Amino acid sequence: MSLKILITGGAGFIGSHLAEKLIAANYSVSIIDNLSTVNKTNLPAKADFYQKNIQDPLLIDLFKKIQPEVVFHLAAASRISSSNQDVLNSNIIGTYNLLNCSKAVKVKQVIFTSSAAVYGESKKFPIKENFPTKPISAYGLSKLTGELYCQFFHPYFTSTIFRLANIYGPRQDSSAEGGVVAIFIKNLLQNKKSFIYGDGQQTRDFVYVEDVIKAMMLALGDNKSNIYNLSSNQEISVIDLLKQTVELINRKPEYSFKKSRKGDIKKSLLDNFLIKKQFNWNPQTSLKQGLTQTIKYFQSL
C-alpha cells in the first residue's frame, strides 16, 4: 500500500509540481487548498482535492478522513501585500491548527516550507542555518513562528524544515511580488514595462522548481528533525536577471525604477552545504536553463 501524503497549498506553483512528482512515484496524494490565489488548473487528476482553509477548526475531520502519514505544508499567505491579519491567520494560526491535527492522527513526518525571509538583513554571506534570525517583514516573522511550532511538536512527529530561496519556473504566479522571474518574462512577451523596486542591485538566490521538488522528495522518510536552506548558493542582482532574461527572449526591455518596498531585503544568498550533505542533493538546473524552460512555458500559454 502506498504512503498517504497530504499537501497543503497543492494547487499552487510549488505544490502542484510536487503533487505531480509524488503521484508519478505512486504515492497516494491528497491536496488541501483554499484557491484564494490560484484555481484548479494545476491540480493533478489523480489527487484527491479538498477546498478548505487550514485555519478551519473542522480541519481535524478532514485529517481523520484522509489519515495522512506525511504532510507537506506549503499553504501560506506569501505576498508582501498580504495584510498582517491574513499572515497571522494563515501562517501562524493555520500552521498551529495543521500541526495539532497531524498530532491527533499520528502523522509520521511534517515537511514545512519556511523562507529565507526568516534571516532578515544578514551581515555575513552565504547565510548558514545557524546564523541569527531577525525577520523584517510580517511574512518572515510568521515563517519563523511556524518553524518554532514545528519544533514544539517534535515529541509527536519528525519535522523537516526547508528555508526556501527564490523559487522560479513554470506556473509561477506573475501577479505575485516574489515571482520576479515570471513578471519579467510575461512583461517582455507582452511588450509591457517592468518595474524594478530600489536600485536593481539587490541580489537574490534563484533555484529552479524541479530541483526544489527533488530535494523535498529526498526528505521523505527522514527520521531527523532538521532545518535546511534550499537554495542554489548563487546570487544575481535583479537588474542582471532582467538583462539575462532579455537576451533569451530577444526583446527590447522597457523598465523603470520605483521606491523600495517595505520588507524587501538587500541581499539574499543561502548556503546549501547541509542539504547537500544530508540528502546528496545538488541543484541540477543552471539559471540560463531554468529561465529557458520558464520562458517556453509562458510562450505556450
pLDDT tens, position by position, 254-277: 899 999 988 889 999 999 999 999
Architecture per CATH, 4-168+208-231+270-279? 3-Layer(aba) Sandwich (3.40)
Looking at residue 177, what is its pLDDT? 60
User: 65 and 49 in contact (C-beta within 8 Å)?
Assistant: no
At 61, the pLDDT band (50, 70, 90 cuts) reads very high
* C-alpha separations of 93 from 52, 53, 288 in Å: 14, 11, 39
CATH number of 180-203+235-268+287-300: 3.90.25.10
What DSSP string describes 180-215?
HHHHHHHHHHTT--EEEETTS--EE-EEEHHHHHHH
Considering only CA atoms, which of 93, 11, 9 is closest in space to residue 57? 93
- 139 noted as active-site residue: yes
Q: Which of 119, 139, 208, 228 is catalytic?
A: 139
pLDDT for residue 76 is more than 90 = yes
Looking at residue 178, what is its pLDDT? 66
C-alpha cell at 49: 482535492
The owner of cell 555575513 is 124
C-alpha cell at 252: 527590447
Structural domain spans, the chain: 4-168+208-231+270-279, 180-203+235-268+287-300
Per DSSP, the three-state class of 296 is helix
Considering only CA atoms, which of 34, 7, 33 is closest in space to residue 21? 7
Statement: the pTM of the whole predicted model exceeds 0.95: yes
Backbone angles phi, psi at 258, to 5 degrees: -125, 165
Distance CA 103, CA 60 (A): 10
Looking at residue 1, what is its pLDDT? 60
